[in-house]
Structure 1
Amino acid sequence: MILVISYPGEEHTDDVVGRLQRAGRDVVRIDLADFPAASGLSCSWDVGAPERYLIQTPGGTVDLAGARAAWWRRVRAHTLDPLMSDPDAMAFAMSETNEAVSGMLDALSCPWMNPREADSAAHHKPLQWAVARQVGLQLPRTLVTSRPDDARAFIAEIGVGKVVFKAFIAMLEAWRETRLVEESDLAHLDSVRLAPVIFQEYVPGVDLRIIHVGERFYTAELDAQDTSYPVDMRMVIGEAKVRPVELPARLEAQLLALQRRLGLVYGAIDMRRTPDGDYLFLEVNPAGQWMFVEERTGLPISQAVADQLCAMADRGVREPVGV
């Protein structure tokens, strides 16, 4: 059995699950938002019997102890019974549900893509940047700060119009594009005291979306330099020139070292290649999207993800993290 944890309608998950099922694999897909309101669980440790991790699915009861591989894709928060209204009771129920579900998943002996703890830690950009430098990758000059004076000094040293600011996480509820710092922004720098902000030197060049799956890399060049918004290719992906490219072997080795130190089996890596041929690391998204790359380049990424899950299931043992 291959366990897939993601929510309904997530198109990347839908595509890969379809490939797995067509290949004859037994796939169980669960949405964490179903617990505890719409789905039950029962974990047991009886004398002389193996442990059991039973969950309720639309197709019946499934024992997750039989999982041979698991895919932690994109998840939603738990959902409580709508009849609950007392805040203290709701907080308690949410905490207890998280402890039970998380503990159950962590107890599974199968390998994960990605291991949940590693996936969570690797979402933190300061950690990414520290590890990236340790493996020899170059970064643009970067400042994370909630101190207005530090922000002013950083911008003054590099220059207005040569620094971008951006968010740590692309939240659907408060999505923000990457923007250049302009003169009009200087009057608002005191607001960084309200929450830390990423400031980064803006380096012209072409973007690279690098999809890492297992031991392989699938790379697309996204040239947004002549588009209406070259600062953030996500805003103009339809205008950008997109083509598959190969990375230098040394760079691939550094990126593989990065992913292994972060404990990731999968990651969507963003880099910038300068006109001089330098490669600058920007970030890695442990649950980043790839279908827009696959559609524009023909790179077989969805099949690679499915094949990786099958290979992990065939081995069926948890692999050490960070080696």
Structure 2
Amino acid sequence: MILVISYPGEDHTEEVVRRLESRGRRVVPIDLSDFPSRASLRLEWAADGEPAYLVEDSRGATDLSAARAGWWRRIRPHEVAPAVADPSYRAFAASETSQAIQGVLDALPCRWVNPRAADAAAHHKTLQWTVARQVGLKVPRTLVTNCPRAARAFVDELGLGRVVVKAFLAMLEAWRETRLVTRDDLDRIELVRYAPVILQEFVPGVDLRITIVGEQVFAAEIDARRTSYPVDMRMVIGESDVRAVALPAELQAALLRLQRRLGLSYGAIDMRRTAEGEYVFFEVNPAGQWLFVERRTGLPISQAVADLLARLAGA
């Protein structure tokens, strides 16, 4: 059995699940937001025998101990029943649910894409940049700070038009594009004291989305230089030229070292190649998207993910 932690309508999940099921694999999708209000669990440790990890939702009952591979794809927060109105009780119910489910997922006798603890740690960009430097990747000059004085000094040193500001996480509730720091930003620089900000040297060039599945490296060039927003290719994918490319062998080796050091078997890496041919690392997203690359280039990334999960699950 292959356990998939995601939610209905997530197109990457559906594409991979379709491929697995077409090969006769049993796939059990679990949406964490179903707990505790729409799904139940029964976890038992008897005096003798193996533990039982039973969950039941609209699709029926499943013993999670049968899982041989797990895909930690995308999650939504637990949803507490509306009948629990008091905020403190709601927080308690969500916390207790999380403790029960997170613990049993870690107890399962299966191999994960990605291992959950490694996935959580690798989401931290401050860790990524340190490890990237250690494995031989070039990282742009970067400052993370909530000190207005330090932020202003960084921008003053590099100059307006040569510094971008970006967020740590791309949250649906508060999504922010990468953008150049402007004079108006400097006028309100004191606001930095309320939360750390990422300031990074702007690197002109061609974007690269490099998707790593196990030991397979799928690289695509995304040229947004002549689009309406060349600072952040995510904003102008439809305007950009996208094509599959080959990476230098030494760069591929460094990226695979990065994945191993972070403990990841899947990662969507963003880099930029300068006019001088230098490759600069920005970040790796342990749950990043790939369909926009696959559909434009034909790179068989979905099949590679399905193959990896099938191999981990065994016969």
Q: TM-score, normalised by structure 2?
A: 0.98
Partner of 1:193: 193
Cα-to-partner distance string for 1:182-229 (whole Å, 9 max, x where unaligned): 222210111111111100000110000000100111010000011111
Q: Which moved more, 1:266-275 or 1:51-60?
A: 51-60
Unmatched tracts of structure 2, length 5 or more: none
Unmatched tracts of structure 1, length 5 or more: 316-323
Q: Secondary structure of 1:21's partner?
A: helix
Deviation (angstroms), 1:145: 0.7
Output the CA distance in 2 between the equivalents of 1:289 and 1:110.
24
Contact 2:38 2:57 in 1 (8 A): no
RMSD: 0.9
What pairs up with 1:79-228 in 2 under 5 angstroms? 79-228=79-228
Output the CA distance in 1 between the equivalents of 2:249 and 2:300.
20
Q: Which moved more, 1:281-290 or 1:41-50?
A: 41-50
Partner of 1:318: none
Q: TM-score, normalised by structure 1?
A: 0.96
Output the CA distance in 2 between the equivalents of 1:182 and 1:271.
23
Deviation (angstroms), 1:58: 2.3
Output the CA distance in 1 between the equivalents of 2:217 and 2:248.
11
Q: Secondary structure of 2:243's partner?
A: strand
Output the CA distance in 1 between the equivalents of 2:89 and 2:235.
42
Output the CA distance in 2 between the equivalents of 1:89 and 1:293.
44
Aligned amino acid, residue 11 of structure 1? D
Aligned amino acid, residue 93 of structure 1? A
Count residues in correspondence. Answer: 315
Partner of 1:44: 44
Output the CA distance in 1 between the equivalents of 2:136 and 2:59.
49
Q: Secondary structure of 1:309's partner?
A: helix
Q: Secondary structure of 1:203's partner?
A: coil
Q: Which moved more, 1:162-171 or 1:89-98?
A: 89-98
Output the CA distance in 2 between the equivalents of 1:81 and 1:58.
16
Aligned amino acid, residue 15 of structure 1? E
Partner of 1:263: 263
What pairs up with 1:25-64 in 2 under 5 angstroms? 25-64=25-64
Deviation (angstroms), 1:286: 0.5
Identity %: 64
Pair 1:77 & 2:77 matched? yes
Deviation (angstroms), 1:48: 2.3
Output the CA distance in 2 between the equivalents of 1:150 and 1:59.
54
Aligned amino acid, residue 112 of structure 2? W
